[in-house]
Amino acid sequence: MDFVEALSTDNLTAIKAAPKTDVHCHAFFSARRENVEHWVGHPLTKPPLKMKGVEGMMEYADAVLAPHIKHSEGFEFVAVSAINDAVQDGVVMLEMSFDIRLAEFYPNGIKELCAFIEALVERYKAQMDLRPELGFSRGCADDPKLMALAHEAVELGFFQSIDLYSRQEVCPPEVMKPLFTKARAAGMKLKAHVGEFEDAEEIRRTVEVLDLDEVQHGIAAAESVEVMRWLSEHHIQLNVCPTSNVMLDGVPDLAAHPIRVLFDNGVPVTINTDDLMIFGQSVSEEYRNLYQAGVFSAEELEDIRRASLAR
Ligand SMILES: [Zn+2]
């Protein structure tokens, strides 16, 4: 059964069987919460259906989730569990972001973290193309030790891409320019979270300052025809996570998601998970949800799926 028929007959097994990508996935919160509950041996409080942006999400995650996984054993359980689930979900290319602070879980720091990730790449290479991404929070930009560590991580030549996240107000893109220039010179793909909630113009500015290849979220671009035209002309892909946008209240509900407007204006979009532990929807489920909410036809979702595999 092909993907179009799988969506239109709501055959989740067949939806999962179709090859897909996930290029917006933070390793630390990437496993299903149910699997973490099984591992810790007790249930964990569910997230509220609506949270107040990234701060609201972190309030929940810091109180309920992080205490159980803030060490190498916890992180390693989460990463392996997430990759196993992604394989079952039909994800054949996973660009997984590993925060620079994860190096602090290991006595030998960044090299030991990379050795663990490298072993995962090897272990899963027959089933998926796992591409390690270096993650950096804007909140760490004023920490000279972490910034130096991020430079060291880029110099290792191990990570294939870099992603900047947390609230865009925390630090202007100019602060990150030296690290991103080094990452570009190392041949890495450059990404940043921007326009998750508002400010279409800041999306263009961040892309220009940091010479980004792709934007994580960027859904506020839908407010500006001019910015959408610019993104389309420059082939800047937006890696969208629909359930994350709804739960963090950037979007009222799935049916109103601006991914439709972005698509209609020629902006390249992909469909991704963000933090599965919090948002609870696999890539296959995100495709299915968008179809069932009437955002896209099955044929349009097939076009998005195929385009994501070609990149
Ligand atoms: Zn994200």
For the chain, give every domain's residue range: 20-310
Residue with token string 């389309």: 232
Active site residue 133: no
Per-residue pLDDT for 311 more than 90? no
Whole-number mean pLDDT of the chain?
98
Phi, psi of 23 (to 5 degrees): -115, 15
Q: How far is the CA of 137 from the centre of ligand 1 (A)?
A: 10
Instruction: Give me the mean pLDDT over the 272-295 stretch.
Output: 98
Ion ligand 1 contact residues with beta carbon within 5 A: 274
Name the active-site residue from 95, 133, 196, 286: 196
- For residue 164, pLDDT over 80 is answered with yes
Pick the CATH number of 20-310 from 3.90.650.10, 3.20.20.140, 3.40.50.150, 3.20.20.80: 3.20.20.140
Q: Mind listing the pLDDT tens digit for each residue in 47-63?
A: 999 999 999 999 999 99
| Residues 76-102, mean pLDDT to the nearest whole number | 98
**Residues sharing a CB contact under 8 Å with residue 143, sequence separation 6 or more, in sequence order:** none
List Cα–Cα distances, 223 to 3, 86, 105, 250, 274, in angstroms: 31, 33, 41, 13, 22
C-alpha to C-alpha distance for 61 and 191, rounded to whole angstroms: 23
> In angstroms, what is the span from residue 1 Cα to ligand 1's centroid?
32
Angle at 190 between CA 186 and CA 192, to 5 degrees: 145
Question: Residue 169 to residues 101, 246, 303: CA-CA distances in angstroms?
Answer: 21, 21, 34
Tell me how far the alpha carbon of residue 111 lies from the centroid of ligand 1, in angstroms: 24
CA–centroid distance, residue 224 to ligand 1 (Å): 22
Task: Give the span between the Cα atoms of 238 and 65, in whole angstroms.
Answer: 28
Q: How far is the CA of 4 from the centre of ligand 1 (A)?
A: 28
87: DSSP letter = H
C-alpha 204 to ligand 1 mean position (Å): 18
Structure pTM? 0.98
